[in-house]
Amino acid sequence: MNGLRVAVVGATGAVGQVCLGILEERAFPAASIRVCASERSWGKKLWVNGQELTLEEATPELLGEVDLVFIAAGSDTSRELAPIAAERGAMVIDKSAAFRMDPAVPLVVPEVNAGDLDGHRGIVSTPNCSTTPLVMALKPLDEVNRVTRVTVATYQAVSGTGAAAQEELRVQSGQVLGGDAAQPDVYPHQIAFNVLPHVADFLDSGYTTEEMKMVFETRKILHRPDLAVSATCVRVPVMVSHSEAVHLEFEHPMSAEEVSEVLGKAPGVKLLDEPSSKVYPMPFDVAGQDPVYVGRVRRDESHPNGIVMWLVLDNLRKGAALNAVQIAEEMMSKGLLPRGRAA
């Protein structure tokens, strides 16, 4: 065969756009790419890989004519389309939360738990963008010194909400600089020059769904159902890249040097940790980069077995589109893609 027939559902969104760019950058072996979006975009054109493509409806027919479908269009769309595509023999790599906690669906970061792909039934989920950097840093450490507890505070970029949120930050920032009142629309409160301790929806427990995703997804990906995790997820006025202040507790004491040595060798992780030279990861620099950046690794002075660190990743790339494309690449190398079609 000469490549995969690929469809991208949600091709006009923040993640979909980055996904198409990454397929091109990585010379992904696509024989064809179909681009799907919501009704208002049907018929419009999109340039991908030097080719003009027409935005289409993601019909069952279309989903049955491709080998691989990336869905990045929200949970409702995923719940509707993923089973249809999977049943028709396509491999679905889904960005939404719809199937992540489904025991029948692998939830995968290739550097962490590629082995989980073997059990797939046509749908694989890619984690929430705030989970991915955490598991990539935790996995190699957990292998040498069991992690017993993780607490984290996030600094999440507006692009995690989508392209409209980026525009809202841009417009509101101009309003505030011009001395006008900001007009909230995508977010319940002004995001420009402000901070919202609120990502996704609140639960009765006082946690948000975003915070609980970090708990449940981390446990599933690390195969550590017992792992104690607690998060505070916060939206900050940053366009791209999520940052996380992380406190880890280990079974045994571990020096910052030992932690840095492990992380320095970890796949997909890059240490950027020379504070005396003012070198540490920041969202503005990490935007557009592939690795999870780690800095500010130090002993947690408040716990004998504790470590504190600072993580930053591009939420649209490794936090979403890049991880999805890497899952597809990993499945190809494992011979899982394209799926054998029933006659």
Catalytic residues: 129, 242
Rank residues 164 and 228 by Cβ distance to a copy of itself and give the closer one: 228
Q: Measured from the CB of residue 182, what is the shortest distance to a copy of itself in angstroms?
A: 9
**Contact call for residue 297 and a copy of itself (CB under 8 A):** yes
Rank residues 78 and 161 by Cβ distance to a copy of itself and give the closer one: 161
Among 28, 70, 99, 310, binds a copy of itself (CB under 8 A): 310
Q: Measured from the CB of residue 222, what is the shortest distance to a copy of itself in angstroms?
A: 14
According to CB under 8 A, which residues from 131 to 190 bind a copy of itself?
149-151, 153, 155, 169-170, 173-174, 177, 188-190
**Contact call for residue 219 and a copy of itself (CB under 8 A):** no
145, 254 Cβ separation under 8 angstroms? yes
**Contact call for residue 298 and a copy of itself (CB under 8 A):** yes
Rank residues 87 and 300 by Cβ distance to a copy of itself and give the closer one: 300
What phi-psi label fits residue 236: left (phi over 0), alpha (psi between -120 and 50 degrees) or beta? beta
Among 1, 278, 335, 340, binds a copy of itself (CB under 8 A): 278
Among 84, 236, 332, 336, binds a copy of itself (CB under 8 A): 236
Nearest alpha carbon to residue 98 among 114, 110, 81, 111: 81
Among 103, 179, 206, 340, binds a copy of itself (CB under 8 A): 206
> Which residues does 321 contact at the CB level (< 8 Å), separation at least 6?
15, 16, 18, 19, 21, 22, 70, 72, 95
Q: Measured from the CB of residue 110, what is the shortest distance to a copy of itself in angstroms?
A: 27
> Which residues does 236 contact at the CB level (< 8 Å), separation at least 6?
155, 156, 157, 195, 243
CA separation for the pair 212, 332 (Å, rounded): 32
Rank residues 44 and 149 by Cβ distance to a copy of itself and give the closer one: 149
Q: Widest CA span of the chain, in angstroms?
A: 66
Rank residues 101 and 153 by Cβ distance to a copy of itself and give the closer one: 153
Stretch binding a copy of itself (CB under 8 A), from 25-33, 295-303, 317-325, 327-335: 295-303
Cis before 237 (ω within 30)? no
CA separation for the pair 238, 156 (Å, rounded): 7
**Contact call for residue 293 and a copy of itself (CB under 8 A):** no
Q: In what order do the strands lie in the sheet with 306-313?
A: 228-232, 147-155, 242-250, 306-313, 292-299, 269-271
Q: Count CA atoms closer than 13 A to 9's CA, side-chain side.
A: 29
Nearest alpha carbon to residue 158 among 112, 124, 191: 191
Nearest alpha carbon to residue 31 among 11, 12, 51, 13: 51
Rank residues 174 and 267 by Cβ distance to a copy of itself and give the closer one: 174
Under the rule (CB under 8 A), what is the footprint of a copy of itself? 149-151, 153, 155, 169-170, 173-174, 177, 188-190, 193-198, 202, 205-208, 215, 228-230, 232, 234, 236-239, 243, 245, 247, 256, 275-276, 278, 280-285, 295-303, 306, 308, 310
